[in-house]
Amino acid sequence: MPKFEYAPAPESRSIVDLAASYGLFIDGEFTDGGGTSFKTVNPATEEVLAEVAEADEADVDRAVRAARTAYEKVWGPMPGRERAKYLFRIARILAERSREFAVLETLDNGKPIRESRDVDVPLVSQWFFYHAGWADKLDHAGLGPNPRPLGVAAQVIPWNFPLLMLAWKVAPALAAGNTVVLKPAETTPLTALLFADVCRQAELPAGVVNIVTGAGETGRLLVSHPDVNKVAFTGSTPVGREIARTVAGTDKHLTLELGGKAANIVFEDAPMDQAIEGIVRGIFFNQGHVCCAGSRLLVQESVAEEVLERLKARMATLRLGDPLDKNTDVGAINSAEQLGRIRDLAAAGDEEGATRWSAPCELPDRGFWYAPTIFTGVTQAHRIAREEIFGPVLSVLTFRTPAEAVEKANNTPFGLSAGVWTEKGSRILAIADQLRAGVVWANTFNQFDPASPFGGYKESGYGREGGRHGLASYLEGSK
């Protein structure tokens, strides 16, 4: 098949007004941080985008105090219908400034503009819109009459969906009447800091949202601060485990959204075109930087050859390169460190005897890149079938019977998500029923919606985000 060449279609970055340096956002003001400031780079070019302040213990303390005061004096006592209006304002402003946010997100994170523009930012606005409507309806959230907010929420989010994760955390917290101190990831702080400007335009009371930038140490200071009532973390399972230990014996409420190693199960009667697209979306969406990525493909043996052939053909059409180009499907790996981790795990795949195949594509000279890759001949004992790679690397295993598919799918300490592809309705329901995973996508994959609960079983963490269940994570029911 001839490959059509595309003319470059770069999105202009002129809409983004980058400052040389950014401070912490505490009590409605930007202030300096006490720590050593750090640089955030564009992973596609390694260009330094801005210098960002690091919050030290005193800064975190100040932020928590600002949130406490705002909770007690303003946000907690405010009627739900008024809180709702602030959240509706934020949703609207985010929609109005969506292009600016999409470009900045792509610059700082490396994800294709096609995804930041069409997935991340629209969902972000929708997340605030959905939760705004909850603020004056908390009596109907399923926790009995008059549920109460928890207080100050300490929120630590990852770099894979910097703005979307902010929305997942901040929107339900504010709707329920809590105030927040949020720490974005150190490699992707910029859209969170731009969000401060949305708070200004919405005239959100000072201290309701505070943003402290920094790395692991700032996060540790925040979640262990004695005056926070709720800790919400999205990130790796090892860090989640450490946080669970930290809050043990305290009164802090905790929700964790951690790693995954999702099985994407393709039966022989699957709708094949959709399944191939679903496999690609499952693992190569957002460069595979997705905790619920379909990173273990389980194919029924009778169609394994056909699926692999078609998958490789489809992968050969993926366009890797400049994330700001509107034709780009696969952007940059978020950091040199993450690229190193992906390379190490892929090397383990080679060493343990799996067969590697990468899509033929030219990698740019600068920046952090990894070609979409699959490993075949993978067994359940291989590290690439057990450990989360968090990159565009797919492990392919086969199965013969539905029971074997379920057995292999559940054979992991994780339990975040799974996929099932088959035309047979009764089989979908039976398999979905047996999978130990919080989200099951049948004949689709990687769908997200603020009305739909998301979260894991087992070591993928506890609590849900989105929907009524997610809202409940920020409320205390009447006793």
The SS3 assignment for 295 reads coil
First to last CA, the chain: 66
Q: How far is the CB of 367 from other proteins (least distance, A)?
A: 33
Q: What are phi and psi of 437, to 5 degrees?
A: -150, 150
Toward other proteins, which CB reaches closer, 258 or 393?
A: 258
One residue of 25, 75, 284, 441 binding other proteins per CB under 8 A: 441
Q: How far is the CB of 76 from other proteins (least distance, A)?
A: 22
Q: How far is the CB of 454 from other proteins (least distance, A)?
A: 7
Query: Is residue 151 near other proteins by the rule CB under 8 A?
Result: no
Q: Which amino acid is at 53?
A: A
Query: Is residue 370 near other proteins by the rule CB under 8 A?
Result: no
Tokens 């949305």 found at:
198
Query: Is residue 22 near other proteins by the rule CB under 8 A?
Result: no
Angle at 380 between CA 379 and CA 381, to 5 degrees: 90
Query: Is residue 444 near other proteins by the rule CB under 8 A?
Result: yes
Q: How far is the CB of 415 from other proteins (least distance, A)?
A: 8
Query: Is residue 10 near other proteins by the rule CB under 8 A?
Result: no
Interatomic CA distance for residues 99 and 168, integer angstroms = 20
- Is 82 annotated as catalytic? no
Interatomic CA distance for residues 32 and 312, integer angstroms = 50
Toward other proteins, which CB reaches closer, 34 or 467?
A: 467
Toward other proteins, which CB reaches closer, 254 or 330?
A: 254
Torsion of the alpha carbons at 376, 237, 260 and 441, rounded to the nearest 10: 180
Toward other proteins, which CB reaches closer, 242 or 269?
A: 242
Return the residues of window 253-272 that contact other proteins according to CB under 8 A.
256, 258
Active site residue: 54, 100, 257, 459, which one?
A: 257
Following DSSP, what letter does each residue of 165-234 receive, concatenated?
HHHHHHHHHHHHT-EEEEE--TT--HHHHHHHHHHHHTTPPTTSEEE---SHHHHHHHHT-TT-SEEEEE
Query: Is residue 449 near other proteins by the rule CB under 8 A?
Result: yes
Contact window for other proteins (CB under 8 A) among 52-60, 89-97, 365-373, 455-463: 455-463
Q: Which residues contact 57 (CB under 8 A, 6 or more apart)?
A: 34, 221
Following DSSP, what letter does each residue of 395-415 receive, concatenated?
EEEEESSHHHHHHHHH-SS--
Count residues binding other proteins (CB under 8 A). 43
Query: Is residue 95 near other proteins by the rule CB under 8 A?
Result: no
Query: Is residue 360 near other proteins by the rule CB under 8 A?
Result: no
Q: How far is the CB of 447 from other proteins (least distance, A)?
A: 5
Q: How far is CA 108 from CA 46, 120, 367, in A?
A: 10, 14, 12
Tokens 């890797």 found at:
320
Task: Write out the E strands in 319-471.
Answer: 355-358, 373-376, 393-399, 417-421, 439-442
One residue of 439, 465, 471, 473 binding other proteins per CB under 8 A: 439
Where does this chain bind other proteins (CB under 8 A)? 126, 142, 237, 240-242, 244-245, 248-249, 256, 258, 413, 428, 432, 435, 437-444, 447, 449, 451-455, 457-462, 464, 467-469, 477, 479
Give the active site residues: 257
